[in-house]
Amino acid sequence: MRARLLEATVELLVERGFAGTSTTLVSDRAGVSRGAQLHHFPTKNDLVVAAVEHLTERRGAELAEAVAHLPAGGRRTRAVVEMLGDHFSSPVFAAALELWVAARTDEALLAAVGPLEQRVGREAHRMTVAALGVDESRPGVRELVQATLDLVRGLGLASTITDDSARRRRILREWADVLDRELEKELDA
């Protein structure tokens, strides 16, 4: 029942945005009684934060699993970067973006979203370092990994109002080639 509520919440965030998502709409869509919903999640903020956390973790785990099965060598960097680009342009990103933007002007929501974003950000960073197989103790490597994640976040934002996939693909291919040149010393090590 908890999972049904969380999935319904993310769907509504994607379809109607933060302002258009109400606890009543969520319980209707999930087919869960208001009482049961309030037992699990007393407020809208509890619900939306738990929903984005749940989906982000599930998608993050799927992504880590997919990355673990990528072949080594040649086109690995390109594949990692493209998978990150797709991940940050998915409906889960749109739901997270709704929460993020709402939290900017809502102190109570920010108190919950801030720590969540930090945790998610650290996890994405750790996973990307592992996927690229790079050594962060070398100068500049940490910044390039962070830049990669900020780039896909920027591309994700662009993709929310237009279909930006062809442009995204071209940019990420070029970016992967740049990363390979810059990280060459690491990959050879």
CB 20, min distance to a second copy, A:
6
Dihedral angle sign, alpha carbons of residues 107, 110, 115, 121: negative
Q: How far apart are CA 186 and CA 176, in angstroms?
A: 14
For residue 131 the two structure tokens come to 């996927």
For residue 46 the two structure tokens come to 């509890």
**Residue 184, amino acid:** E
Q: How far apart are CA 98 and CA 102, in angstroms?
A: 6
CB 33, min distance to a second copy, A:
27
Q: Is 42 in the site for a second copy (CB under 8 A)?
A: no
Q: How many CA atoms lie within 13 A of 174 on its CB side?
A: 6
User: Count residues contacting a second copy (CB under 8 A)?
Assistant: 49
Q: Is 49 in the site for a second copy (CB under 8 A)?
A: no
Which string of x and - marks every residue 88-117 that binds a second copy (by CB under 8 A)?
------x--xx-xxxxxxx---x--xx--x
Q: Which of residues 113-172 bind a second copy (CB under 8 A)?
A: 113-114, 117-118, 140, 143-144, 146-147, 149-158, 160-162, 167, 170-171
Closest among 1, 6, 92 to 46, alpha carbons compared: 6
CB 143, min distance to a second copy, A:
4
Q: Do residues 34 and 24 make contact, with C-beta atoms less than 8 angstroms apart?
A: yes
Q: Is 6 in the site for a second copy (CB under 8 A)?
A: no
Residues in contact with a second copy by CB under 8 A are 15-20, 94, 97-98, 100-106, 110, 113-114, 117-118, 140, 143-144, 146-147, 149-158, 160-162, 167, 170-171, 173-175, 177-178, 181-182
